Amino acid sequence: MTRSIDELLTNTVACNTREDLERKLKAGRPLRVKLGVDPSSADLHIGHSVVLRHMRRLQDLGHQAVFIIGQATAMVGDPSGKNAMRPQLTREDVAANAQTYFDQARLILDMDAVEVVYNSSWFDEMGFMDAIRLGGLMTVARMMERDTFEKRYKAGEAIGIHEFFYPLMQGRDSVEVKADIELGGTDQTFNLLVGRDLMREAGLEPQVCLTLPLLRGLDGTQKMSKSLGNAIGLTDPPRDMFGKAMSLPDELMEEWYKLVTDVPAADAAAAIAASPRDAKVDLARRIVATYHGDEAGASAVEEFERIFRQKGLPDEIPESELPGDMVDDDGVWIIRVLTHLGMAASASAARRLVKEGGVRVDGERVNDEQARVAPGTESLVQVGKRRFHRVTVPAR
């Protein structure tokens, strides 16, 4: 029993409650482990993998994974951790994003053994008075205990009445699927606990709430988010995935080893202490191998060694020929080259790259933002340490 509980609680931040978990395990049956996801975007990143990996761990222990697609809740918008109202998605948005979620979650979960349900299947059947009765299960005072609501209220930020329904809807999901355990990040603690309350109200044994850490992103401070540009996508190409992982601040390596790999904590700490650079290469390789296979992980390391330590070039470099109307007698302005190739988001960003010494043409650093690439030439343009593009400038 102790061993089983310890495995269930690996890497968790909190368990509400251990006593309930012990009681459920004593029943000697597979537990129903709920994970609710609102497909608010089409892509998953390795921050999402922390909870997904824990669900897979519970699958491997013989428990039943229950994946709730929040078709109804996504149209309300989860207020967790937000200082403003989230946009409400359409049913079509959710359906399109959900398919991508399935495809990407399969990289971690045994989706063939996952019970998948849409919460619209019960919320679509509810009438207005059913919603009123659901709202009657929560007081405003209790709802305002949620830190995000409290902060927004004190700051004078708008809070929509519909936002109060989100935790109640998530809790109702637990009632409908008769969850034994619900998983979520620490930002979901309030919602998970509401599920316990609603299950008691329905005469059911309350679920156990297991919360997991929020993975900090590549910036080293904020939780991973694609919108913040600090994320590694589960479907990023191996080279991009490896390169991003290598940009991770050293102080986050132990956290990442713990949450996104199966390396024992003592082994990770020893590797980092021996050589932070080698440990980071190993971490990046493991991340690539998890989502692209061992061969891709090994290839990413070989390419890294060649480019950064042996001053070589990547195996694959994109090639483009610039349009003739971009070329004048002196060639093409380097700023236009960078923006046209997508190596800089804007002209101002391109100027900043040049000013910071981050641009090279044929291996030579470009120091003048007025520099031009000559007509009738083929040049290798490089931004930073790992972005290359071979560009042909037509002759006049």
Residues of the chain with CATH 3.10.290.10: 319-393
16 pairs with which residues across the strands?
209
The CA-to-CA distance between both ends of the chain, in Å, stands at: 78
Collapsing DSSP to helix, strand or coil, 332 comes out as: strand
Determine which helix (DSSP H) or strand (DSSP E) holds 92, and give its type and residue range.
Answer: helix 91-105
Q: How confident is the model at residue 329 (pLDDT cuts 50, 70, 90)?
A: confident
pLDDT value at 308 more than 70: no
Taking only the tens place, the pLDDT of each residue in 33-46 is 999 987 766 678 99
Q: How many residues does the chain have?
A: 396
Residues of the chain with CATH 3.40.50.620: 2-212
d(CA 297, CA 241): 10
What pLDDT was estimated at residue 283?
Answer: 96
CATH 3.40.50.620 fits 2-212, yes or no: yes
Average pLDDT, the chain: 88
Collapsing DSSP to helix, strand or coil, 38 comes out as: coil
Q: How confident is the model at residue 78 (pLDDT cuts 50, 70, 90)?
A: low
d(CA 7, CA 62): 12
The residue that leads in pLDDT, 93 or 69, is 69
pLDDT value at 310 more than 70: no
What pLDDT was estimated at residue 339?
Answer: 93
Task: For residues 166-175, give the mean pLDDT.
Answer: 93
Taking only the tens place, the pLDDT of each residue in 333-362 is 999 999 999 999 899 999 999 998 899 887
With pLDDT > 90 as the criterion, what percentage of the chain qualifies?
Answer: 54
Other CB atoms closer than 10 Å to residue 294's CB: what's the count? 12
Whether this prediction's pTM lies above 0.85 is answered by no
Residue with tokens 């910036």: 219
What is the DSSP annotation of 343-357? SSSSHHHHHHHHHTT
Residue with tokens 């330590």: 309
pLDDT value at 191 more than 80: yes
Residue with tokens 């519909």: 162
Task: For residues 14-34, give the mean pLDDT.
Answer: 94
Amino acid at 8: L
233 pairs with which residues across the strands?
45
Topology (CATH) of 319-393? 3.10.290
pLDDT value at 3 more than 70: no
pLDDT value at 257 more than 90: yes
Task: For residues 269-280, give the mean pLDDT.
Answer: 92
What pLDDT was estimated at residue 196?
Answer: 96
